[in-house]
Chain A
Amino acid sequence: MGEERLTDELLEQLLASASPEAYLAQSGIADRSFTDYLNALLDEKGLKRSVVIRDAGLDATYGYDCFSGKRVNPSRDYVIQLALGLRCTLLETQRLLRYARRSPLWPKIPRDAIIIFGIEHGRTRSQVDDDLFRLRRETLVKAE
């Protein structure tokens, strides 16, 4: 998917631009949907949708609809589950959340901090849920 440009760098370029047109022409950013980025991540990691959906602990039809483009902004927890299923890095997870118009993970919030720790340490979705449960926070997949 090529090198993603860093937000700080882009912001600097935007602030230095004379007009929004100039920035849009120079920066090379394009309209990119959550679905596009999700599928790009899938391709890049060479994973199968069925595996990702199962690891994410999502309902199969819901997960399928995310990849097919029927669901364009799933809830924040669903996006986090998808990111964990896709074995995303923290940077990729934050980007995925932003493309879904959901707030990124924030270390100032205890529950987010537990999730960030899990992502950074390569934990699976169910391991992250175990951590959340152990530390008495709301789990990603709700208990039956």
Chain B
Amino acid sequence: MDDPVLAALERDEAYTVVKVLAEKPSGVTELVQRTGDTAFYVRKRISAEIANPDAWAQLAAIDNPHLPRVIEAYALPDAFATVCTYVEGFSVAQLVSARGALDAAQAHAILTDVCDAADALHARGVIHRDITPTNVIVASDGAHLIDLGIARVGDASARHDTTTLGTWGFAAPEQYGFAQTDARSDVYSIGCLAAYMLTGIRPHEAGFEAALRSLPAAIRSCIEKACSFEPSARYGSARELLEAFHEADTVPVRRGGLPARPVRALIPSRVSLSEISIAWRSAGVLKKAAVLFLLLIDALFAWGMYSSVGDINAAAPLGWVVADILMKVALATCIAWALIDALLAFLGAGPYRVASRRAVLWRKRVVPVAVITIAALFTISFVATALFGPAPQR
């Protein structure tokens, strides 16, 4: 393996694409798996012009619990590819759009983690440049700052950034090309993020100013300072911003930052069968056995219900027969539901915590299939009973 291009291509082909997460002119982001490994990774192909190998060399050396870990980075002839660990959870944008503004304790917990992550980056001279609600993922072990795609190493000699990147409303003014970006550009974005979490409104949307005024004065001035137009008027670092926040916010910090109850609106609406099969393949032997056992019990129960439909006396009034069937259907559905909930718990993330996507897949597919199957069995047995009389008695 002497040729570097072939070597890079070989590294690239060690992964199989599970799903394309985003496709933009600047690059493609994919959810990938390594052959023979159940873990998920995020592979990002960044077009050669905007890729920043220096920043990635720095990122690879960072080990912070609130940042994705860089598995590898390699150059292909037309792109720079990076592979990072995948963080499963919901983004701050999803949380806020599902439930409105977050409570102060939760926002504070998320902010603490984000500032910690930003500090770790800044300590290495790397600027994230795209700290937005969609790039902060809230998982069971706290908030994670993801998407290091446009991160760059600060270069004191350049007068201003040559490329304008970032997210409208959250990117600092200097990111539009007025001046060189530095750690204070990230401070600006974190200030906007804090405001968004507490008000539920994006900085460029109508009503933002009014919502900001409704916040406690100490917190408001903290956000305003972080989001000053002039970088020198902002906090000097993410750590400073966080300390100011600690002083302004008297509510005790709650670690973890996860909502206690399930959030219905967060459940993805579309689930594909291939994702189910991936969830299945990535489950351990014990989980698989448990799931099969529960499904078997479910099937036996459904069969028992089915074969007892004929027990009703054929001479009984029709109303009785219908009531009997409806009751059994309801009972079977409840039990099937309970079994599937147990199954989800076995899979590692039941609906009683914030459901992880993988568990949601099961709920979205398995529950309707079970309910429809049971209902179909009963309909068939009912029609059969009506046509051919009661089932033969043992």
Interface residues of A (CB under 8 A from B): 48-50, 53-54, 60-61, 64-65, 68, 70
Which 7 pairs between the two chains have the least Cβ-Cβ distance? A60-B5, A50-B9, A50-B10, A60-B6, A60-B3, A48-B13, A61-B77
- Report which residue of B3, B4, B9, B10 has the largest number of chain A beta carbons within 10 angstroms of its beta carbon: B9
Report the minimum CB–CB distance from A58 to chain B (whole Å): 10
Q: How far is the CA of A24 from the CA of B78 in the complex (A)?
A: 36
Q: Which residues of B contact A60 (CB under 8 A)?
A: 3-6, 9
Is the CB–CB distance between A54 and B77 below 8 Å?
no
Interface membership of B150, Cβ < 8 A: no
- Report which residue of A50, A53, A60, A64 has the largest number of chain B beta carbons within 10 angstroms of its beta carbon: A50
Q: Annotate B1-31 by CB proximity to A: 1 below 8 A, 0 otherwise.
A: 0011110011001000000000000000000
A–B pairs, 11, beta carbons within 8 Å: A48-B13, A50-B10, A50-B13, A53-B6, A54-B6, A60-B4, A60-B6, A61-B77, A64-B78, A68-B77, A68-B78
Q: Annotate B77-95 by CB proximity to A: 1 below 8 A, 0 otherwise.
A: 1100000000000000000
Report the minimum CB–CB distance from A110 to chain B (whole Å): 33
Is the CB–CB distance between A70 and B78 below 8 Å?
yes
Closest residue of chain A to B78 (Cβ to Cβ) is A68
Given A50-B6, A53-B6, answer yes or no on A64-B77 (Cβ-Cβ < 8 Å): yes
Interface membership of B76, Cβ < 8 A: yes
Q: Which residues of A contact B13 (CB under 8 A)?
A: 48-50
Report the minimum CB–CB distance from B22 to chain A (whole Å): 19
Q: Which residues of B contact A68 (CB under 8 A)?
A: 77-78
Is the CB–CB distance between A65 and B9 below 8 Å?
no
Q: Which residues of B contact A61 (CB under 8 A)?
A: 5, 77
Report the minimum CB–CB distance from A102 to chain B (whole Å): 23
Q: How far is the CA of A50 from the CA of B3 in the complex (A)?
A: 11
Q: Which residues of A contact B9 (CB under 8 A)?
A: 49-50, 53, 60, 64
Q: How far is the CA of A53 from the CA of B4 in the complex (A)?
A: 13
Closest residue of chain A to B76 (Cβ to Cβ) is A64
Report the minimum CB–CB distance from A104 to chain B (whole Å): 29
Q: How far is the CA of A61 from the CA of B48 in the complex (A)?
A: 14
Given contacts A49-B9, A50-B9, A60-B9, 14 further A-B contacts (CB under 8 A): A48-B13, A49-B13, A53-B6, A53-B9, A60-B4, A60-B5, A60-B6, A61-B5, A64-B5, A64-B9, A64-B78, A65-B78, A68-B78, A70-B78
Q: How far is the CA of A70 from the CA of B4 in the complex (A)?
A: 19
Q: Which residues of A contact B4 (CB under 8 A)?
A: 60
Q: Annotate B215-232 by CB proximity to A: 1 below 8 A, 0 otherwise.
A: 000000000000000000
Q: How far is the CA of A54 from the CA of B78 in the complex (A)?
A: 19
Report the minimum CB–CB distance from A61 to chain B (whole Å): 5
Q: Which residues of B contact A49 (CB under 8 A)?
A: 9, 13
Closest residue of chain A to B10 (Cβ to Cβ) is A50
Q: Which residues of A contact B76 (CB under 8 A)?
A: 64
Closest residue of chain A to B13 (Cβ to Cβ) is A48
Q: How far is the CA of A60 from the CA of B9 in the complex (A)?
A: 9
Closest residue of chain B to A60 (Cβ to Cβ) is B5
Q: Which residues of B contact A48 (CB under 8 A)?
A: 10, 13
Q: Which residues of B contact A70 (CB under 8 A)?
A: 78
Report the minimum CB–CB distance from A76 to chain B (whole Å): 23
Q: How far is the CA of A114 from the CA of B144 in the complex (A)?
A: 60
Is the CB–CB distance between A65 and B77 below 8 Å?
yes
Q: How far is the CA of A103 from the CA of B66 in the complex (A)?
A: 58
Q: Which residues of B contact A54 (CB under 8 A)?
A: 6
Q: Which residues of B contact A64 (CB under 8 A)?
A: 5, 9, 76-78
**Which residues 62-111 of B sit at the A interface, judged by CB distance below 8 A?**
76-78
Q: Which residues of B contact A65 (CB under 8 A)?
A: 77-78
**Which residues 10-57 of B sit at the A interface, judged by CB distance below 8 A?**
10, 13
Q: How far is the CA of A29 from the CA of B13 in the complex (A)?
A: 32
- Report which residue of B3, B6, B13, B76 has the largest number of chain A beta carbons within 10 angstroms of its beta carbon: B6
Report the minimum CB–CB distance from A77 to chain B (whole Å): 20
Q: Which residues of A contact B78 (CB under 8 A)?
A: 64-65, 68, 70
Q: Which residues of A contact B5 (CB under 8 A)?
A: 60-61, 64
Closest residue of chain A to B14 (Cβ to Cβ) is A48
Closest residue of chain B to A54 (Cβ to Cβ) is B6
Q: Annotate B263-293 by CB proximity to A: 1 below 8 A, 0 otherwise.
A: 0000000000000000000000000000000
